[in-house]
Amino acid sequence: MRIFLFLLCFFSLTPVFADNVILMIGDGMGKNHISCTAKTHPLFLARNKPVGEIQTYSANNDITDSAAGATAYACGIKTNNKFLGITPQKEACKTLAETSLEQGYTTLIRTTDILTGATPSAFYAHIDSRYKTKEIEQMLAKAQEKMSIKSVQYIDKEAKEILSTLSTSTTPFFMMIEESEIDKQSHNNNYQKMQEALIRFDKAVQTAVNFANKRKDTTVIIVADHETGGLTNSCQFTKDNHTGENVYYYVFGQHKNLFTEPVLQNTDIHHKIKEILFK
């Protein structure tokens, strides 16, 4: 059996254990953010059915912030708001990015936020407040010795560039891509700018899905950490903060059949990614 497996690995054109995951987080991207934007702009996400919905609440609040929201995806645990990469009992948890590194995979984080922002830092930092910027900066510097972590202005442009680079690599990779402006502009109740950010994110999604469709080793998972702005069916903002509304999740590519549930916890996404990457 062992010899058979060895031969299978050796002779297979695509290495047996090489699976890539692209986790895409539309920060603050609620269900109505997508359907409202789709009323005036053709969206890839609106043309495709979500697999289901995600419940986003954190360990200590019905309404999560981006720190606990991203930690759920990064570590597979519900933690307290403001906490990054730690349990409610303040123990460090291992993030997908850290496990990816341990496995020798290429590990990448791309965000339109600053690198110490809550969503990107939940993948490399372990601290009890997203606002302890000095400490997070030190953790960032250490993480950057091994991971590729970059802040970019336009996520659609960056998705094209980085995936074109990765298309020639034979090392498996894990990449987290975040569009932070959907959240920020929803806090501002700036409908126009929210749409512009969502359209750029949608283009990045399409690029990632095209990449996955050309190969047999890549799974693309699109989620949000929470809804922001209480956007209604009639496309009006009703709040300037996050809500506890469920968000959509979409999956494309190689292992999309692992995702079938109409309702998942945000932490379930983590465990499924682990199953794909580190089986």
Q: Which residues bind Zn ion (CB under 5 A)?
A: 183
- 148-151: list long-range contacts, CB under 8 Å, 24+ apart: 148/106, 148/107, 148/108, 148/109, 149/108, 149/109, 149/115, 149/120, 149/124, 150/108, 150/109, 150/110, 150/111, 150/115, 151/111, 151/112, 151/113, 151/114, 151/115, 151/120
Strand-pair partners of 24 = 177, 222
- CB 222 to Zn ion: min, Å: 18
- Name which of 19 and 183 has its Cβ closer to Zn ion: 183
Quote the least distance from Cβ 25 to Zn ion, whole Å: 12
CA dist., res. 213 & res. 210, Å (int): 5
Smallest distance, Zn ion to C-beta of residue 82, A: 12
Contact 71, 126 (CB under 8 A): no
| Residue among 113 and 183 whose Cβ is closer to Zn ion | 183
Q: Which is nearer to Zn ion, 30 or 172 (CB)?
A: 30
Largest pairwise CA distance in the chain: 62
Q: How far is the CB of 237 from Zn ion (least distance, A)?
A: 13
**Please, which residue, 27 or 158, has the CB nearer to Zn ion?**
27
Q: Which is nearer to Zn ion, 67 or 147 (CB)?
A: 67
Q: What share of the chain is helix, strand, coil (3-state, %, to 5)?
A: 40, 20, 40
> C-beta of 228: minimal distance to Zn ion in Å?
5
Query: What type of residue is 208?
Result: A
Choose between 98 and 245: whose C-beta lies nearer to Zn ion: 245
Q: Least distance to Zn ion from the beta carbon of 74, Å?
A: 17
